[in-house]
Structure 1
Amino acid sequence: MIRTIADCAAALRRGDINAEALLEECLGRIRRLEPHLNSFVFLDEAGARQAARGSDVRLAAGASRSPLEGVPLSIKDSILVADMPATWGSRAFADLVPDRDELPVARLRAAGAVIVGKTNVPELTLEGYTKNDLFGVTRNPWNHALTPGGSSGGAAAGVAAGLVAAALGTDGGGSIRRPACHTGLVGFKPSVGRYPRIDGFPALLTDFETVGTLSHSIEDALILDAVLAGPDARDRRSLCAPAQARSPGPARILYLPRFGPSPIDPDVAEATERMANGLAESGHTILREPLFFSLEDVARIWQVVTRSGVAWLADRDEARIGRQLGAAARTMAEDGRTFSGADYFDALDRVTSLRRLCAERFADIDFVLTPTAAALPWPAEQPFPTEIAGQPAGPRDHAVFTGWVNLAGLPGVSLPVGVSQSGLPIGVQLVAGFGADAALLAFAGEVMARYPRLSPPMSVDP
């Protein structure tokens, strides 16, 4: 049985189940399904049971801290959790066990959530599938031969299979939204600063990467947002994150079905077009206009910043980190060493220009609608699909729709809207202006009211 956060909260509130029993239900499901998925890299059964017992005491006393009280959640292995390994998917950090929670985790604990364990990632969370030299490959609960995407692939697989109610992940270029798309989930990436972060790994992607959530519904995303959002003076970005409301009435939506010449799976294109038409029939204004920013700028920014970040990390401690990195990360570091300081500042200048363009464009629209991923899930051991819609595809072609959102610092959400002819989930992406996170989630909730929740086939539970 797959339970949402809202399901868990209601059952605990009614007394249909207690937090310890709910945890044991999840652990039993983990024992049955993990051999097929490889979602988790670490389970803290003792710590989770202790947390569940504390929740039961508070629930019995009518002192629940939040709707997350007693709800089992997972944390991506690029986010630090006290007394749990934090490997970042790399042998370079195989022995790291932090002594404190990263701020978003601390907020979840303070809200009464039960942290079950850590989920698998690609090394340094810089690839669009989930495999590393420490823990191997993670598989999609919809089809175990295929990937759940990355880099929050372990998180997505676990939530989709019902191992936990929801997950905390990170999104630096689509790393929450695309895995959510590939597993039939809601994946939310907030505006820069909405979920403050301290006490984490180095920020290789500057402020492009944010913490975000994977869940079964917008209702669950809102429950998590209420706990994770809010300023903290130790992360100055969070002090400047506005809360922009949307005017009542029909929305103005810029529909971008394609990005340049990049191929797109026909089932994905059809599902996104169907949503655009449905929104128009509901009275919203759908604008079909050319892309308003440069794909070449986006590609250049991504290449320079990501590669430079890996080079910086490797070179700061060559013996402990650089020599321990896997082949893909070493190649990124080598590429990063070819860029100059001037190249890096040029990339940052392009980021500034992109953010201005987005601010100007969102002055007279409410949302942008795109597919979330250009491809359906591909073989689990393969870093990216080499062909999409019968056309050759490169490493980022499947991911073309998401990275610009990170560079611009905007909120984006992937919504599960259908299943392909081959039986795989499809997601579409809605993006809002900076700070319009609440308006985005509210509108997404209206949209998803028309769609049934997606669940993997029962064969996932042998």
Structure 2
Amino acid sequence: MTVEYDATDLIAQFSRGESDPAKVAEAHLDCIAQRNPDLNALSARSDTVLDEARAARDRWARGEPTGPLDGVPVIIKDNLVSAGLPAAWGNAELAGRIPDQDEVPVAALRRAGAIIIGKGNTPEFAVEGYTGNATFGTTGNPFDAALTPGGSSGGVVAAVAAGMAVAGLATDGGGSIRRPAGYTGLWGLKPGIGKTRRGGGLPQVLLDFETVGPITRSARDLALFQTVLTGKSHQAEHRSLHILAVPRIEDAPCDPGIRALFSTTVDRLRNLGHSVTEGSLPLDLAPLNEVWAQIAEIGLAHLAWSDPPVMARAATKYQQMAECGTKVSAVTLYEALTRVFALREAVRGLWGYDAVLLPTAAAPPWPASEAFPKIIDGVTAGPRGHAVYTGWVNAAGLPGMAFPAGVSEGLPVGMQLIADHGGEDLLLTIATTLDNGRYKTA
């Protein structure tokens, strides 16, 4: 039994009686047994997978599937709450707590019939761009286990790209869906603020920047999962678009291989009939960058206040960040919010463009145990140097879609398209034109 199909293929096979959800589940569990010891993608695995898959098989045999994902194995990022499995968030205290309910987006997948095969590893509190923690260890990239799959959704993308799950549900607070999807040849959607319902989950540490979205092997699955998450069917918007292509953010370094594939992607979009203008991002990101670290510190300080046992067992660096957050004044927080509001007004209307094209990351994958690449294209880079293309999108509240753009030195490279508020359907439509059906596992 192959594990290379996307969810759309599997559902079609189930409906025709050509495939068995139980055998599909067995194949993915076998893949976990074979590949997870090297990749460490899963922080927890469900022990009810085969029972749920057999129940799905019986429903399909009766012609009574429970929903559009009945029998499809999915993986959930370990900062999302799902019944029967820890929502550990990379933290030893939370790893010992077993919730008995699903938070809203997880419940939507469960109602649609998805089988939650396990939880995807994440850095503690999901505030860094790699995937490793003291509780579960470090996650590797399926294309080279010595390298990172990115973060903070590294466990989810590693599992999907390696064939351990068909698709995943993750969060994106500063690029945590888009960058890892780009590093593993997958598709990822970061919906705009308020598009996908939240509720019943863990505390937020990045204001309202973090949204929930799917990570998939194909563009069509991206639309399928987003329909399940929102309860609204995808409305195709086929038309020629006016796209702003931004290869660099100010003077920040970007890897030459990524820049070359960016140019190739510009050509692809033009060949699809879109008008593409290359230029700079019409934003001054300095005010946001000046307060970004403080926002995370304030969020961790609130977490420490609301759940002291969690922070008591956190890594020292996060305890220190939380301590710094307690010293930030209300005036400073209000100034940060003021800058975020100003940014959201500045992007309204997307400067007359339908979409903005950018790389998902400025650097290729680096050693898995390191939090960030210290050198990019020969230039010294800080903790967010690889992530310069993504965080502003979260603060602005805009939707963003990551898609495979090719391979550089044997590793996948991703690009992203950003749309105006409410532009998720536009992104999903253009995704289908960019997909060459290459949903293969690593």
- TM-score range for the pair, normalised by the shorter chain length: over 0.9
Q: Does 1:396 align with 2:381?
A: no
Instruction: Name which of 367, 374, 389 aligns with 1:379.
Output: 367
Instruction: Name which of 11, 15, 18 aligns with 1:16.
Output: 18
Q: Does 1:324 align with 2:317?
A: no
- Partner Cα separation in structure 1 for residue 119 and residue 273 of structure 2: 43
| Aligned residue identity for 1:416 | P
Q: Is the 8 A contact 1:73 1:166 kept in 2?
A: yes
Cα deviation digits, residues 210-248 of structure 1 (max 9, x gap) = 1111111111111101100149xxxxxxxxxxx998975
- Partner Cα separation in structure 1 for residue 273 and residue 160 of structure 2: 34
Larger mean Cα displacement after TM superposition, 296-305 or 249-258: 296-305
The residue that corresponds to 2:164 in the other structure is: 163
Q: Does 1:93 align with 2:94?
A: yes
The residue that corresponds to 2:32 in the other structure is: 30
- Partner Cα separation in structure 2 for residue 248 and residue 144 of structure 1: 39
Instruction: Give unpaired runs (5+ residues) of structure 1.
Output: 232-242, 458-462
| Aligned residue identity for 2:41 | S
Distance 1:414 1:50, change over 3 A: same
> What TM-score, normalized by structure 1, do the two folds share?
0.92
Cα deviation digits, residues 361-409 of structure 1 (max 9, x gap) = 35x2110000010010000000000111111111001001011111111
| Aligned residue identity for 1:79 | L
Instruction: Name which of 215, 233, 253 aligns with 2:243.
Output: 253
Q: Is the 8 A contact 1:244 1:439 kept in 2?
A: no
Distance 1:429 1:111, change over 3 A: same
Q: Does 1:341 align with 2:330?
A: yes
Instruction: Name which of 355, 367, 370 aligns with 1:367.
Output: 355
- Partner Cα separation in structure 2 for residue 171 and residue 373 of structure 1: 14
Instruction: Within 5 Å, give how 1:37-436 maps onto structure 2.
Output: 37-45=39-47, 47-230=48-231, 249-318=239-308, 320-362=309-351, 364-420=352-408, 422-436=409-423
Q: Is the 8 A contact 2:357 2:416 kept in 1?
A: yes
| Aligned residue identity for 2:262 | T
- Superposition deviation, residue 454 in structure 1: 6.0
| Aligned residue identity for 1:126 | V
Determine helix, strand or coil for the equivalent of 2:13: helix
Cα deviation digits, residues 292-332 of structure 1 (max 9, x gap) = 112212213422211110111113344x1332110231232
Distance 1:245 1:302, change over 3 A: farther
- Partner Cα separation in structure 2 for residue 140 and residue 42 of structure 1: 18
Q: Is the 8 A contact 1:196 1:230 kept in 2?
A: no
- Partner Cα separation in structure 2 for residue 247 and residue 31 of structure 1: 42
Distance 1:454 1:389, change over 3 A: farther
Distance 1:93 1:62, change over 3 A: same
> How large is the Cα RMSD of the aligned pairs?
1.8
Distance 1:92 1:5, change over 3 A: same
| Aligned residue identity for 2:324 | D
Determine helix, strand or coil for the equivalent of 1:73: strand
| Aligned residue identity for 2:254 | I
Instruction: Name which of 7, 10, 18 aligns with 2:9.
Output: 7
Distance 1:113 1:445, change over 3 A: same
Q: Is the 8 A contact 2:406 2:413 kept in 1?
A: yes
Q: Is the 8 A contact 1:416 1:454 kept in 2?
A: no
The residue that corresponds to 1:240 in the other structure is: none
Give me the identity figure in percent: 42
Cα deviation digits, residues 267-303 of structure 1 (max 9, x gap) = 1011011111232243321123332112212213422
Cα deviation digits, residues 50-100 of structure 1 (max 9, x gap) = 221221222111122333111100111100011211111112322211110
Q: Is the 8 A contact 1:102 1:200 kept in 2?
A: yes
- Partner Cα separation in structure 2 for residue 307 and residue 87 of structure 1: 20
Q: Is the 8 A contact 1:195 1:230 kept in 2?
A: no
Larger mean Cα displacement after TM superposition, 278-287 or 159-168: 278-287
The residue that corresponds to 1:446 in the other structure is: 433
Cα deviation digits, residues 174-219 of structure 1 (max 9, x gap) = 0011110111100111111111011000111121001111111111
| Aligned residue identity for 2:284 | S
Determine helix, strand or coil for the equivalent of 1:377: coil
- Partner Cα separation in structure 2 for residue 118 and residue 54 of structure 1: 21
- Partner Cα separation in structure 2 for residue 119 and residue 299 of structure 1: 29
| Aligned residue identity for 2:17 | G
Q: Is the 8 A contact 1:385 1:398 kept in 2?
A: yes
| Aligned residue identity for 1:111 | A
Instruction: Give unpaired runs (5+ residues) of structure 2.
Output: none
Larger mean Cα displacement after TM superposition, 299-308 or 23-32: 299-308
Q: Is the 8 A contact 1:244 1:435 kept in 2?
A: no
